[in-house]
Structure 1
Amino acid sequence: MIRTFCFAAASAAFILAAGQPAAAADDELIKSQAGSWLLAPESGAKGCRLTFETSPASGGYAISGADACATALPAYAKAAAWNFSDDGTLNLMDASQKVVARFQEEEGSPWESEDGDPTWLLPALGDVDHVPTVASLAGTWQIQQPGGKLICNVTLSGDADQDGTPKMSPGGDCPADIRDLKLSLWAMEGFGLVMMGTDGSSLSFDMRPDGSFQKSEEEEGEPMVLVRKQGS
């Protein structure tokens, strides 16, 4: 599973609370969504940031900074409020409460726009203003220990299998615990990267602000980082 961030529990909590009067229990859900977000096209084009506030606004809770979207994503520049629907959909609205966009989220995946060209809504990551793509990440990478000691090399290919999933290959220098995963495919979704094995095994990484990746906290075993090999 790609672990960019997980709002399934939050969405479920909201759905359970839906239909009930607004209660203090919902405050924690709203607070958990507050903060800086990146709106970014799935294509890898430049996105923009906005901030989810917890202060009330017409139709939900205030959004600030949306005017920064005027160039990159003008359709979102008038977003003035955010809120959840009873079905867990996250809605962005303008000052007149007209819905600017609706976002759906599946477990382990980013919020994705329902209509138009796919756009993701992700917690902001440093100064990153776009999401990585298969084309931008294809090449040779090094799996390292956190201190920089090389574990082994892996190659992420831009070529895909018959189902459209990009291929990968671990280097011959990989230790047994990585070889045993039989990694052969990889995928990106938002800021998450997952390597997948032929027997259902996987190895997941989360992107860092500098463009490298760290092994997801949900993964067992020793920590690892994934760094692009110089010259690749």
Structure 2
Amino acid sequence: PAGPALADLAGTWSFARQPGRPICKVTLTEEPAGDDAFKLTLDAGCDQAITAFAPVSWRIERSDIVVMSSRGDQLRFEQSEGTVWRKVPEGNRPLLMMR
């Protein structure tokens, strides 16, 4: 099956450790950032864990959302249910992206 469309994913999202408890708002833009990626912006007041990761861009890879940092680190999110995406592998610090 085809993955999600860029236009469907662009816009404002929240990072959260658990549903209903956002720790950061982020905007996925449709502005190119090179290497099939697009610019990402953080709102002020984000949790230190997110600002330390320093996300700057995102891309669709297969049917996942991949968020990249300024250092080239990556976080991969797979669709969990509806507008909730879960970091994979989840590890000991779960992270959700949700609308």
Matched, 1:203 2:95: no
* Partner in structure 2 of residue 177 of structure 1: 49
- TM-score, L = length of structure 1: 0.39
Higher strand proportion, which one?
2
The alpha carbon displacement at 1:190 in A equals 2.7
Q: Which has a greater percent of helix?
A: 1
Aligned equivalents of 2:92, 2:49: Cα separation in 1:
10
**2:94 matched to which residue of 1?**
223
Contact preservation (8 Å) 2:87, 2:94? yes
CA distance in 2, matches of 1:147, 1:161: 30
The aligned counterpart of 2:63 is 191
Task: Quote the residue 1:134 is aligned against.
Answer: 6
Name the CA shift for 1:159/1:223 in 2 (closer, same or farther; >3 Å): same
Task: State the 1:194 CA deviation.
Answer: 1.1
Shift of 1:162: 3.9
Larger-gyration structure (1/2): 1
User: Is this contact kept in 2: 1:142–1:227, CA < 8 A?
Assistant: yes
Q: CA deviation at 1:221?
A: 4.1
* 1:202–1:163 distance in 2 versus 1, CA, 3 Å: closer
Which segments of 5 or more consecutive residues in structure 2 lack a partner in the other structure? none
Residue 19 of structure 2 is aligned to residue 159 of structure 1 = no
The residue identity in structure 2 corresponding to 1:169 is: T
Q: CA RMSD in A?
A: 1.7
Residues 227 and 164 of structure 1: is their aligned pair in 2 closer, same or farther, counting only changes over 3 Å? same
Identity percentage of aligned residues: 29
Q: Residue type matched to 2:59 in 1?
A: A
Q: Residue 56 of structure 2 aligns to which amino acid in structure 1? A: S
In the TM superposition, structure 1's runs of 4+ consecutive aligned residues that sit over 3 Å from their partners are: none
Deviation at 1:214, TM superposition (A): 1.0
Task: Report the TM-score, using the length of structure 2 for normalisation.
Answer: 0.85
Q: Distance in 2 between matches of 1:203 and 1:182?
A: 11
Q: Which runs of 5+ in 1 are unaligned?
A: 1-38, 41-130
